[in-house]
A and B are shown apart, each in its own frame.
Chain A
Amino acid sequence: MTATDIHALVGAYALDAVDDLERVAFERHVTECESCRIELDELRETVCRLADDAWSVPPPRLREQVLAEVGRTRQLPPARKPRPDRRVESWRRWATAAAAAVVLAAGTGVSVWQVQEQRVQDQSVLAEQAQRREARTRQILAAPDLVVRTAPVVGGGKVTVASSAQYDAGVMMLGADGPPANGRVFELWTLRGRTATKAGLLDPGVGSAVRVIDGLPGNDGFGVSVEPPGGSPQPTQIVANVTLT
C-alpha cells in the first residue's frame, strides 16, 4: 500500500471503520506525516460532535462501580518525550536489573541467560519500549527474586522471560527477527500441564513486544505461537517455548 492509499483511509480511520491491520498501518503513517496528523485530529474532533446527541442515562450503579474500580486502579505515568540521554539511561537501568537478576539466579543454580554487553545492547530497543510502559514493568525487572530465562524463536530471534514470584508476575520480551508472514500474528500463552491459557496477542506486523504477564510464576512454561489475526482458542503453531520449572 502506498502512502496515498493509506492516507485515503483518514476518514474511515477517524470513524473506527478500519480493520486492525489498516489501523496499525495508518497510525504508523501519521507519525511520519505532520499534515496528515492535523487532518486526522480535525476529523476526529468532528466525529466527536456526532456523539453530542447520543445521550442516555446510565444505571446509577455504574457510578459506584466505576468510582470503586478507580480507587484501586493505578494510573499510568505521563508519556515521556524521547530525549537522547533518557534512552541511554533507560537501557542501562534495564541492564542493571537484568545483571542483578543473573547474579541472584546463578546463586540458585538455575541455568539462565548470561548477560553480555552486546546482547544487552541487542535488547536496548525492547528495553526502550519497556521504559515507556507502566512503572510495573520496571518494578518487576528490579525484583530481588527475578529469574531470567530465554529461548529461541523458530525463524529467528528470541524470547526472554523475566519472572518474579514476589510480584506473582513476569515480563515477557519477544524479539523475533520479523513479524509472522501473511498477516498472521504472534500469540502468547502460559502453559500449565497440558493446558495453554491465552496471555496476550500482538498486532499484525509486530515482531517484538514487552508485556507484563500476571500470574506467570505459577505456570510450567511460557509459549509463543503464530496464529491467524485475532488469535486462536488454542495454540496451533508454537514457535517458542520457555520452561519455567
Chain B
Amino acid sequence: MTDRGSAARRPEHLSAVPDPEPGPAPGPDVATCLRDVARGDERAFARLYDLVASRVYGLIRRVLRDPAQAEEVAQEVLVEVWRTASRFDSTRGSATSWIFTIAHRRAVDRVRAEQSAAERTMKVGSASMDTPYDEVADEVAGRLERQQVRRCMDDLTELQRQAVTLAYYQGHSYREVADLLEAPLPTIKTRMRDGLIRLRDCLGVGVTAS
C-alpha cells in the first residue's frame, strides 16, 4: 500500500479508475481532481472529497478535539477548496499540501478564536495553559508508528520535536510553545525552523516532486 515504487510504475490509465478503498490516495489523483474542480466539475469534486475528506477531517479533529466543531470546520474547508480551486498554483507545491494548508489554518484560526473568547470571559490563568505536552508527544509518536514520518521525527532533537508537534497538532502559537517548554522565544522560532528543515531533508520533500 505504501510502496511508492510500484505505485509510480502503475500504468497511467489505471489511475483514472476510482479507488474502491477509502485509503490514502496517490498524489496525482488529488492533483488531477483539483484541476478538474477548478473548471467547475462537481463530479471531480465528489471524487476529490472521497480522496481527502478523511484526512482533512482527521487533521482538524486532531487539532480541535471536538468532533462537532471538527465537522463544521471540515465543511468550511472543503467548500473553500471548491470555491478557490482555481487559485491553486502547482508551481508552489502539491495539491494535497495546498488542501492541508487551508485545513490546518482554519483549524488553528478556530482554536485562536475560542481562546480569545475564553480569555475574555474567564481570565484563564496558567492552570489551563499547563498542557501535558509529554502526553501529546507520546500520543503523536504512537500514532506515527510504522511511518517514515515517525522515523524522521526521531531524528529531531527533543526540543525540535516538541516545538513542532505542539504547534502543529495542538494549534499553539510559538509564544505559547515557548511558555510551555520554558524556552526563550528566539530559541523556539529557531527550533521550529531547523526542526522542519531536518524533517524536510529526512523525508526528501521537494516542491516539484509531486
Contact = CB atoms under 8 A, between A and B. Distances in A.
A75 B54 contact: no
A65 B58 CA distance: 17
A54 B58 contact: yes
Contacts of A71: 42
Interface string B164-199: 100111011111010000000010111111111101
Contact of B207 (A9, A42, A51): A42
Contact of B46 (A10, A47, A50, A67): A67
A193 interface: no
Contacts of B62: 54, 56
A73 B147 contact: no
Number of chain B interface residues as a range: 35 or more
Given A56-B61, A77-B86, A45 B94 contact: yes
Interface stretch (B4-12, B98-106, B129-137): B98-106
Contacts of A41: 92-93, 207
Contacts of B74: 58, 62
B167 A54 contact: no
A49 B54 contact: no
The residue in A19, A45, A70 that gathers the most chain B C-beta atoms within 10 A of its C-beta is A45
B97 A73 contact: no
A51 to B, nearest CB: 5
A119 interface: no
Interface residues of chain B: helix, strand, loop or mixed (majority): helix
B199 A62 contact: no
A18 B174 CA distance: 6
A78 B86 CA distance: 5
A56 B57 contact: yes
* Max count, chain B CB within 10 A of own CB: residue among A12, A65, A67, A77: A12
A96 interface: no
B196 A46 contact: yes
B149 A58 contact: no
B206 interface: yes
A58 B103 CA distance: 14
Nearest to B153: A50
Contacts of B173: 12, 17-19
A230 B54 contact: no
A15 B107 CA distance: 12
Interface of B: 22, 24, 38, 40, 42, 45-46, 49, 53-55, 57-59, 61-62, 67, 70-71, 74-75, 78-79, 82-87, 92-94, 96-97, 100-101, 103-105, 108, 116, 143-144, 147, 149, 164, 167-169, 171-175, 177, 186, 188-197, 199-200, 203, 205-207
Q: Across chains A and B, which 10 residue pairs bring their CB atoms closest together, nearest first?
A: A11-B193, A11-B192, A56-B58, A48-B97, A58-B57, A17-B167, A15-B167, A54-B59, A54-B58, A46-B200
Given A17-B174, A55-B55, 4 more contacts: A37-B92, A44-B93, A54-B58, A54-B143
